[in-house]
Amino acid sequence: MTGDTANQELENLLGLAPVIPVLVVDQAEIARPLAEALVSGGLPVLEVTLRTPAAFEAIAAMAGVPGAVVGAGTLLNPHDIAAAQAAGARFGVSPGATPSLLKATREAEFPLLPGMATASEAMTLMEMGHRVLKFFPATAAGGVDMLKALAGPLPGLRFCPTGGIGHDTARDYLAQPNVLCVGGSWLAPRDRIAARDWDAIRTLAEEAARLAR
């Protein structure tokens, strides 16, 4: 997979919905009904963060849900990439980018949404062939104003802002021409997951899917 191919694959995936749910799954048995609720609500692209022992099993379960496109988040090293691919992840997401991580994703032909927070980091990734980036942590790193500032000197880049974004602020990000989608954790509140309230999560997904692009 060439850099252009990986970029196009990411653009295609991230264009499927305005919001990517960023999920922390503590128990593998809730992965499938959680994914079903989100997908049926109009959000097919799901990011499962590798922050719990259940993460890889959750990716595998969600990958079996019709219509779901599952990515692995919080990739930190080459081992994470191999395990995510084996579990059925279609793409990866990282909070930042290191030479070893970028090299491993290229060798594995695994589309990666690498994280950046500054203009220099964005330029470095662009120089390495990446044009679709995760802007993280979005709110702490300047939010919408930062994206507006980057649009002039770096017009060829597209972003998925993540970090501190909620339903009330997502629309402002999505209004920026260099934003493909946003990532957010508000779609799967821990109390609703604990209550197995999949209808409530489906409603949150439906509301997010209606956000203006």
The per-residue pLDDT for range 32-64, each reduced to its tens digit, is 999 999 999 999 999 999 999 999 999 999 999
pLDDT at 3: 79
Q: How confident is the model at residue 213 (pLDDT cuts 50, 70, 90)?
A: low
Peptide linkage before 44 cis (omega within 30 of 0): no
From the list 9, 11, 121, 134, the catalytic residue is: 134
From the list 11, 29, 36, 47, the catalytic residue is: 47
What pTM does this model have?
A: 0.96
pLDDT above 70 for 141? yes
Q: Choose among 212, 167, 208: nearest CA to 37.
A: 208
Q: What is the mean pLDDT of residues 3-30?
A: 95
Token pair in block for residue 18: 């305005």
pLDDT above 90 for 123? yes
Q: How confident is the model at residue 1 (pLDDT cuts 50, 70, 90)?
A: low
- In angstroms, the Cα distances linking 213 to 16, 138, 145, 176 are 11, 18, 18, 9
Q: Residue 148 catalytic?
A: no
Tell me: the pLDDT tens digits for 69-90? 999 999 999 999 999 999 999 9
Q: What is the mean pLDDT of residues 129-138?
A: 98
Q: What is the mean pLDDT of residues 91-96?
A: 98
Measured in degrees and rounded to the nearest 5, phi and psi for residue 114 equal -85, 145
Q: Residue 47 catalytic?
A: yes
Instruction: Return the CATH architecture of domain 3-209.
Output: Alpha-Beta Barrel (3.20)
pLDDT above 60 for 109? yes
pLDDT at 95: 97
DSSP one-letter string for 137-164:
TTTTTTHHHHHHHHHTT-TT-EEEEBSS
Cβ atoms of 115 and 136 within 8 Å: the answer is yes
Name the residue with tokens 């954790």: 185
pLDDT above 80 for 180? yes
What residue spans define the domains of the chain?
A: 3-209
